[in-house]
Structure 1
Amino acid sequence: MSELPQPEFDKDKFLYPTSRYHGNFTPQNLAFNANLQEFAQRVSYICGLETGGKLPPQEAYNEIKALWKQLKKSREMLLDYEPNPPDETAGD
């Protein structure tokens, strides 16, 4: 009897699941949402490692703090960006 082929397992989708974005769509919002989901996933892993005794509390804190700074910078670049208004004198 022959075995049926097994579907290919995508470990990245398993380890780093992402949810669909349902908010107000802009490329910036979508990019920030992806960054936010990655932040949450990585913080979850760090917390699990710290809880399991594999990572010292101070190191876990430092890693989460560094991730927070990256997320904050991402927010500033993606969401706090205000494009320059069109030059009203152009074309005169």
Structure 2
Amino acid sequence: MANCNNAAKDNFFYPRSRYYGTFTPETLAFNANLQEFSQKVAYISALETGGKLPPEQAYKQVKTLWKQLKRSRKALGISPNLYPDNQ
């Protein structure tokens, strides 16, 4: 029963959306990294907005997360122009 409660709690705190893009292991891994980045930025923003985190510290944390996401994209070999604009 404890595992069921942990799974429900994890799904609540760390929801995952399904991946709709072209499937490759690399794009799927990057999508997971992108979702994690998004969740962490949301938490940092909420803490800063609530006065629990100074703006400078929030900025530094988001900047660090962004650099990690960029490194992840490069390590996975995903082009920044994977999906060109449809203009």
Q: TM-score, normalised by structure 1?
A: 0.76
The residue number in structure 2 matching 1:73 is 71
Which letter maps to 1:65?
K
CA distance, structure 2, for counterparts of residue 55 and residue 13 of structure 1: 25
The residue number in structure 2 matching 1:20 is 18
The residue number in structure 1 matching 2:35 is 37
% identity of equivalent residues = 64
User: Residues 18-56 of structure 1: CA distance to partner in whole angstroms, max 9, x if unpaired?
Assistant: 100010000000000000000000000000000000000
Structure of greater Rg: 1
CA distance, structure 1, for counterparts of residue 35 and residue 14 of structure 2: 9
Distance 1:60 1:73, change over 3 A: same
Provide the aligned C-alpha RMSD in A: 1.6
The residue number in structure 2 matching 1:59 is 57
Following TM superposition, the consecutive aligned residue runs of length 4 or more in structure 1 with deviations greater than 3 angstroms are none
Gaps of 5+ in 1: 1-7, 82-92
CA distance, structure 2, for counterparts of residue 16 and residue 47 of structure 1: 16
Which letter maps to 2:21?
G
CA distance, structure 2, for counterparts of residue 16 and residue 79 of structure 1: 26
Say which structure is richer in helix: 2
Paired residue total: 75
